[in-house]
Amino acid sequence: MTVQSPQPPRESVELRRDVTIWGSFMWGYADVGADIYTALGLVIAASQGMASVAFAIAGLVYICIGLAYTELAAAYPVAGGGHYFALRGLGDFWGFVAGSALLLDYTIDISLFAVASAGYFLSFWSKIVTHADRVKHNIHFSANFIVYDWVMVVVALGLILFLVWLNIRGMKESSLFNEILGAIDIVTESMLVMCGFLFAWKPELITSQFLETWRHFDLHQFAYGTSLGIICFVGLESISQAAQETRRPATIIPRTSITLIFTVFIFAVAFSNLSLGVSSWQSFRDHLEDPVAFLATLIPFIGIIAGPFAAFLGMTILAISANSGIMSASRLTFSMSQLKLLSPWFDSVHRRYRTPARTIMFFSGLGILFVVASAFTPQIIDTLGNMYAFGATLGYIIVFISLIKLRFSDPYTPRPYRVPINLPWKRDEGRAIQIPILGFIGVSGVSMIFFFVVYTHAIGRIAGPAWVILCLSYYLYYRGRIGLPILGSVKHNWEQEQIQVLTSAEEFDLLEQYKLALQERDKMLRKRAEATP
């Protein structure tokens, strides 16, 4: 939908900087930390006794992704995240492709985690209400439509509507919701892991399951499980999405991102190893809707209490992950609209709450449609997970390429954090360039996961490309209609914009460094011009 800008030009309304260091960490944890509640059952069911290996491979790729986002978000603290980095490094077209892929990821985030939250809610309900399991297992509409599934859908839709209201109210209110529940989740997950390894873990059980799976190794199944494993680590970019609303982002983002990367990686590896050392992989296959709650019930001494509590906690932490999806989708489209990749209709900000209310409602509405559509497939969570992995991996590939390109095209922007393993290179007489070796490793790793997704996900390789093609059709129409280049880029004064960004973020030390770097460059260019006959 396209709405012409009113005349005279509307007043520019900026997003409010309300996110603190703890809020920034929790925006990321709300998205990434909740993933284990959904991915644990899916990955174990697919990878069987080698699920721990699948999680580890996906986790190592995720660490590379996380470090890349940390550098880029600290250097360019604006709303938009991956699409903005791609636009700065590769131009408008690739910025839009990255944006459309990540937009699929965020929209599915809303649907997937709202459904998963509803699943844990019903699991909690079944543990405290007599005979509730009969509702889940014995009552059918027909051979294909189970009452339990549709109750889960209705609960998920109610949750999405509540989160829409919450996000329209403002980032401060939405961030507070994340912070409280996220803190409880970190403490609870830590207790489950410690008690599980102390009282329930059997090393001989995890070893026997690994060896049994290895003897009957199925590459297709393992690749499928590894590609689903990336679900457990999707969402770190939420920190970069909130960068324009974060106080002192260039200072805060590196701290919060690196802490988050290793917190989530440790939890994912710990839960996968604990699960296979407590019960058979087949038992987790039968609990795709509530794998963490099921694991908690198996821990001696605390299981009778930990099971219901983990189910309740899963419900809440998945709710804040769906909340992060709404935030990320709305901020991404807000940024894309301001950069003329989408209609100005998408960058409208609510006059009272100063939030992108239109995009919040629009993409939450798409999330609702995805929930309803997936209910007609054999497995709701698996269907949504397929599309989630496609959007994330495609977007990450483009972000890694952008990281490498920006090191060459924009060496003057201060980088409070750089990814490790760099090769210095001074070309001509210009500024020294740090070539990010880890960036090339990351491209290879994410490309491998992307290949696994396309090769093994029947739904993902159809619905994912269809989404991107549909978005590109809109892009071609919109850019052609307003007379902007389709494959080319709108001319930007990136240097002036970067000065404005750092000024708005109150990163005055970095601003001074940036201006000095530009002055040195201009001085060098003048000398070179004077020396040329």
Q: Which of 232, 245, 179, 293 is nearest to 57 (CA)?
A: 232
Distance CA 105, CA 100 (A): 9
Around Cβ 338, how many Cβ atoms within 10 Å?
17
Please, where are the H alpha helices in 342-429? 357-374, 380-409
pLDDT score recorded for residue 238: 67
pLDDT score recorded for residue 174: 53
| pLDDT digit string, tens, across residues 225-243 | 898 888 777 767 766 666 6
- Residue pair 46/228 in contact by the 8 Å Cβ criterion: yes
Distance CA 35, CA 405 (A): 31
Using a CB cutoff of 8 Å and minimum separation of 24, what contacts does 297-306 make?
298/200, 299/192, 299/195, 299/196, 299/199, 299/200, 300/199, 300/200, 301/195, 301/199, 302/195, 302/199, 306/192, 306/195
Residue 266 is encoded by which pair of tokens?
């440790």
Distance CA 220, CA 452 (A): 9
| Residue located via tokens 């604006």 | 78
Alpha carbons within 13 A on the beta-carbon side of 89 = 24
Residue 334 is encoded by which pair of tokens?
């807000």
pLDDT score recorded for residue 25: 74
Distance CA 386, CA 401 (A): 24
Residues β-bridged to residue 268: none
pLDDT score recorded for residue 176: 62
Chain-centre distance for alpha carbon 184: 21
Residue 316 is encoded by which pair of tokens?
């809440």
pLDDT score recorded for residue 477: 92
Low-confidence ranges of the chain (pLDDT < 70): 1-24, 27, 30-31, 79-80, 127-148, 169-179, 235, 238-247, 348-355, 427-431, 533
Residues 6+ apart with CB under 8 A from 190: none
21-492 architecture in CATH?
Up-down Bundle (1.20)
Beta strands in 198-336 (DSSP E): none
Distance CA 382, CA 388 (A): 10
DSSP letter at 378 equals S
Around Cβ 353, how many Cβ atoms within 10 Å?
16
pLDDT score recorded for residue 433: 85
Provide DSSP, 137-206.
Answer: HT-BSSSS-BHHHHHHHHHHHHHHHHHHHHHHH-HHHHHHHHHHHHHHHHHHHHHHHHHHHHHT--HHHH
CB neighbour burial string for 42-65, b if at least 16 within 10 angstroms, e if fewer: bbbbbbbbbbbbbbbbbbebbbbb
pLDDT score recorded for residue 130: 44
Q: Which of 145, 89, 36 is nearest to 408 (CA)?
A: 89
Residue 487 is encoded by which pair of tokens?
């494959």
Distance CA 130, CA 147 (A): 17
